[in-house]
Amino acid sequence: MLRKLIMSAVMVLVAAEATFAAHPLITDDTGTQGKGKFQLEINGQYGWDNNNGVIQYTTPTASTLTYGVIDSVDVSIGVPYQWIRTDDPGKITRHNGFGDVAIAAKWRFYEKDGLSFALKPGITFPTGDKDKQLGTGKATYSLFLITTKEIKPWAFHLNLGYIANNNGLDQRVPIWHASIASEVEVAKSLTLVANTGIQRNTDNASHTDPAFLLGGLIYSITRNIDIDVGYKYGLTRPEVDHTVLTGITFSF
């Protein structure tokens, strides 16, 4: 049982670090910042997962800084911090600390008539303590193909990804990811978002993959400041049962 909970906690880290999407979405879009521009995202989550009476509470946070190298290329760095509490009958354990730092680049290589494609390679560094469920113990690598189609006022995004989940936790190394998201502006400065996806389970002993369904809102306070809130529901047993997501984004 503890093994399953550890895998769940690390899956949160793998999913969060694989892409830096427009929060609260998990699925990324092809948009970039523009040459010389920055974006700072500060995000937080609160997850609750029940595995046969053993309850785990996860509170991952992340600060992600993105810089536009040229109009079609971004580079980003994400620094996660996580609190984990596990309530096993008769025993409570707590861990907290920094996770694995992630660096990624995004290159939008095609854009025409509202359809665009981008490639996003990434790497994480083993800065998190794997014994405390805060990291994988080794550097991991990822590559995502991102597609966006805009049909005003709608936008649709598709992510297909591969993660070389090198680790010291006896997890699967090749991990695939597939997800789709949609956005629609329902009022001035207010965007409704929806997201669903599935990712190969990192647990070698499991043949069920984590899948999720997510809904949320993004509100633009000003042209340069967005706040967001979302709710993610686990569709399969390995996925965290319930997660509340919040964030704020600054562009400058």
User: Does residue 63 surpass a pLDDT of 50?
Assistant: yes
CB atoms within 10 A of CB 234: 19
Look over the chain and give the mean of its residue pLDDT values, rounded to a whole number. 92
Domain positions in the chain = 2-251
Cβ proximity of 213 and 182 under 8 Å:
no
Q: What is the pTM of this model?
A: 0.90
> Is the model's pLDDT at 4 over the cut of 70?
no
**Residues 1-14, mean pLDDT to the nearest whole number:** 50
**Do the bridges between strand 225-234 and strand 242-251 make them parallel or antiparallel, or are there none, so unpaired?**
antiparallel
Q: Which residue has the tokens 């996580």?
A: 82
Q: Kindly report, residue by residue over 93-133, the tens digit of the pLDDT.
A: 898 999 999 999 999 999 999 999 999 999 999 999 988 88
pLDDT band at 22 (very low <50, low <70, confident <90, very high): confident
Cα dist from 140 to 102, 103, 163, 206, whole Å: 9, 11, 7, 21
With beta carbons less than 8 A apart as the criterion, state whether 59 and 82 touch.
yes
Mean pLDDT of 192-216: 96
Find the mean pLDDT for residues 214-242.
96
- For residue 88, name the pLDDT band (cuts at 50, 70, 90): confident
Give me the percent of the chain exceeding a pLDDT of 90: 82
Mean pLDDT of 64-77: 98
Looking at residue 116, its amino acid is S
Q: What is the pLDDT of residue 21?
A: 76
Predicted confidence at residue 5, as pLDDT, reads 46
CATH number corresponding to 2-251: 2.40.160.40
pLDDT of residue 54: 87
